[in-house]
Protein backbone atom coordinates (compact mmCIF):
# COMPACT_ATOMS: atom_id res chain seq x y z
CA UNK A 1 0.00 0.00 0.00
CA UNK A 2 1.45 3.32 -0.96
CA UNK A 3 0.86 6.66 0.62
CA UNK A 4 1.68 9.83 -1.14
CA UNK A 5 2.09 13.47 -0.25
CA UNK A 6 1.22 16.76 -1.97
CA UNK A 7 4.73 18.11 -2.17
CA UNK A 8 6.71 17.72 -5.35
CA UNK A 9 9.85 16.31 -3.71
CA UNK A 10 9.77 12.75 -4.74
CA UNK A 11 13.19 11.78 -3.52
CA UNK A 12 13.23 13.57 -0.18
CA UNK A 13 10.35 12.05 1.75
CA UNK A 14 9.19 9.20 -0.41
CA UNK A 15 6.16 7.06 0.20
CA UNK A 16 5.77 4.78 3.21
CA UNK A 17 4.51 1.35 2.17
CA UNK A 18 4.28 -0.45 5.53
CA UNK A 19 1.75 -0.43 8.38
CA UNK A 20 2.90 0.64 11.83
CA UNK A 21 2.63 -2.60 13.88
CA UNK A 22 3.74 -1.26 17.29
CA UNK A 23 0.30 -0.01 18.47
CA UNK A 24 -1.35 -3.27 17.35
CA UNK A 25 1.24 -5.34 19.24
CA UNK A 26 0.76 -3.20 22.36
CA UNK A 27 -3.02 -3.74 22.31
CA UNK A 28 -2.54 -7.51 21.76
CA UNK A 29 -0.11 -7.78 24.71
CA UNK A 30 -2.45 -5.83 27.01
CA UNK A 31 -5.35 -8.15 26.09
CA UNK A 32 -3.12 -11.21 26.62
CA UNK A 33 -2.17 -10.03 30.11
CA UNK A 34 -5.84 -9.36 30.97
CA UNK A 35 -6.88 -12.84 29.83
CA UNK A 36 -4.00 -14.50 31.71
CA UNK A 37 -5.03 -12.76 34.92
CA UNK A 38 -8.81 -13.36 34.62
CA UNK A 39 -8.77 -16.96 33.32
CA UNK A 40 -8.02 -18.60 36.71
CA UNK A 41 -10.74 -16.51 38.37
CA UNK A 42 -13.39 -17.78 35.94
CA UNK A 43 -12.66 -21.47 36.62
CA UNK A 44 -12.91 -21.13 40.43
CA UNK A 45 -15.91 -23.10 41.74
CA UNK A 46 -17.45 -23.98 45.07
CA UNK A 47 -18.58 -27.54 45.81
CA UNK A 48 -22.16 -27.65 47.10
CA UNK A 49 -23.92 -30.81 48.21
CA UNK A 50 -27.47 -30.47 46.88
CA UNK A 51 -30.03 -32.82 48.45
CA UNK A 52 -31.49 -35.39 46.09
CA UNK A 53 -35.28 -35.75 45.96
CA UNK A 54 -37.35 -38.48 44.42
CA UNK A 55 -40.44 -37.64 42.42
CA UNK A 56 -42.37 -40.79 43.22
CA UNK A 57 -45.79 -40.07 44.74
CA UNK A 58 -46.81 -41.66 47.98
CA UNK A 59 -49.47 -44.20 47.17
CA UNK A 60 -52.27 -44.21 49.69
CA UNK A 61 -55.49 -46.03 49.12
CA UNK A 62 -58.31 -43.48 49.53
CA UNK A 63 -60.86 -44.76 52.02
CA UNK A 64 -64.54 -44.32 51.29
CA UNK A 65 -67.43 -44.59 53.72
CA UNK A 66 -70.65 -45.53 51.94
CA UNK A 67 -73.64 -44.33 53.97
CA UNK A 68 -77.01 -45.37 52.54
CA UNK A 69 -80.39 -44.02 53.67
CA UNK A 70 -83.56 -45.79 52.60
CA UNK A 71 -87.04 -44.29 52.32
CA UNK A 72 -87.88 -45.17 55.95
CA UNK A 73 -84.80 -43.29 57.25
CA UNK A 74 -82.81 -46.41 58.16
CA UNK A 75 -79.03 -45.90 57.90
CA UNK A 76 -76.52 -48.37 56.48
CA UNK A 77 -72.76 -47.86 57.08
CA UNK A 78 -70.93 -49.80 54.32
CA UNK A 79 -73.99 -52.04 53.85
CA UNK A 80 -74.33 -52.70 57.62
CA UNK A 81 -77.29 -51.29 59.54
CA UNK A 82 -76.33 -48.59 62.03
CA UNK A 83 -78.21 -46.67 64.72
CA UNK A 84 -78.52 -42.89 64.07
CA UNK A 85 -77.43 -42.19 67.68
CA UNK A 86 -73.97 -43.75 67.20
CA UNK A 87 -73.30 -42.00 63.89
CA UNK A 88 -71.56 -38.95 65.39
CA UNK A 89 -69.14 -41.17 67.34
CA UNK A 90 -68.31 -43.13 64.18
CA UNK A 91 -67.75 -39.90 62.24
CA UNK A 92 -65.42 -38.60 64.97
CA UNK A 93 -63.43 -41.86 64.92
CA UNK A 94 -63.02 -41.67 61.14
CA UNK A 95 -62.15 -37.95 61.13
CA UNK A 96 -58.88 -38.47 63.05
CA UNK A 97 -57.48 -40.82 60.38
CA UNK A 98 -54.85 -39.61 57.94
CA UNK A 99 -55.84 -39.28 55.12
CA UNK A 100 -59.37 -38.51 56.07
CA UNK A 101 -61.89 -40.79 54.34
CA UNK A 102 -64.60 -39.47 52.04
CA UNK A 103 -68.22 -39.89 53.12
CA UNK A 104 -70.47 -40.82 50.20
CA UNK A 105 -74.17 -40.55 50.93
CA UNK A 106 -76.71 -42.55 48.91
CA UNK A 107 -80.28 -41.58 49.67
CA UNK A 108 -83.49 -43.09 48.40
CA UNK A 109 -85.68 -40.89 46.23
CA UNK A 110 -88.35 -40.79 48.95
CA UNK A 111 -85.98 -40.07 51.86
CA UNK A 112 -87.01 -37.11 53.99
CA UNK A 113 -84.72 -34.12 53.65
CA UNK A 114 -84.72 -33.78 57.45
CA UNK A 115 -82.98 -37.16 57.80
CA UNK A 116 -80.40 -36.23 55.18
CA UNK A 117 -79.74 -32.87 56.86
CA UNK A 118 -79.26 -34.56 60.25
CA UNK A 119 -76.71 -36.99 58.75
CA UNK A 120 -74.76 -34.16 57.10
CA UNK A 121 -74.87 -32.12 60.32
CA UNK A 122 -73.54 -34.98 62.43
CA UNK A 123 -70.80 -35.64 59.84
CA UNK A 124 -69.69 -32.02 60.05
CA UNK A 125 -69.88 -32.06 63.85
CA UNK A 126 -67.83 -35.27 63.87
CA UNK A 127 -65.07 -33.55 61.88
CA UNK A 128 -65.43 -35.01 58.38
CA UNK A 129 -64.53 -32.54 55.68
CA UNK A 130 -65.06 -34.57 52.49
CA UNK A 131 -68.72 -35.34 51.87
CA UNK A 132 -70.10 -36.47 48.53
CA UNK A 133 -73.39 -37.71 47.13
CA UNK A 134 -74.04 -40.73 44.96
CA UNK A 135 -76.87 -40.03 42.55
CA UNK A 136 -78.61 -42.01 39.88
CA UNK A 137 -79.32 -40.31 36.55
CA UNK A 138 -82.96 -39.75 35.74
CA UNK A 139 -85.71 -37.28 36.38
CA UNK A 140 -87.15 -36.67 39.82
CA UNK A 141 -90.73 -37.39 38.72
CA UNK A 142 -89.99 -40.61 36.79
CA UNK A 143 -92.18 -43.67 37.35
CA UNK A 144 -90.90 -46.72 39.25
CA UNK A 145 -90.07 -48.63 36.05
CA UNK A 146 -87.67 -45.87 34.95
CA UNK A 147 -86.03 -45.83 38.37
CA UNK A 148 -85.00 -49.47 38.20
CA UNK A 149 -88.11 -51.02 39.77
CA UNK A 150 -90.67 -53.13 38.06
CA UNK A 151 -94.27 -51.99 37.61
CA UNK A 152 -96.56 -53.60 40.16
CA UNK A 153 -93.66 -54.73 42.37
CA UNK A 154 -94.12 -54.52 46.10
CA UNK A 155 -92.07 -51.92 48.00
CA UNK A 156 -89.26 -53.08 50.26
CA UNK A 157 -90.35 -54.13 53.74
CA UNK A 158 -88.75 -53.17 57.02
CA UNK A 159 -87.46 -56.75 57.37
CA UNK A 160 -84.89 -56.27 54.57
CA UNK A 161 -81.35 -56.04 55.94
CA UNK A 162 -80.07 -53.88 53.07
CA UNK A 163 -81.62 -50.85 51.44
CA UNK A 164 -83.50 -51.65 48.28
CA UNK A 165 -83.39 -49.52 45.18
CA UNK A 166 -80.18 -47.71 46.20
Beta-carbon neighbour count of residue 165 at 10 Å? 16
Q: What is the pLDDT of residues 71-130, one digit of tens each?
A: 898 999 999 999 988 888 899 999 898 888 999 999 998 889 999 999 999 999 989 999
Domain residue spans in the chain?
64-134
Q: With a threshold of 0.85, does the pTM exceed it?
A: no
Q: What pLDDT is stored for residue 34 in this prediction?
A: 93
Domain 64-134 annotated CATH 3.30.420.270: yes
Residue 144 has pLDDT above 60, yes or no: no
Q: Is the dihedral of CA 104, 108, 114, 115 positive or negative?
A: negative
Amino acid sequence: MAFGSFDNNKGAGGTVSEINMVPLIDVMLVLLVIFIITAPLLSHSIKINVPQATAQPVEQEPRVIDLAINADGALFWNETAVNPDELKARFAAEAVLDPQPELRIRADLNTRYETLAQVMSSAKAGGLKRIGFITRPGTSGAPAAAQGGTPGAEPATAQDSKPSGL
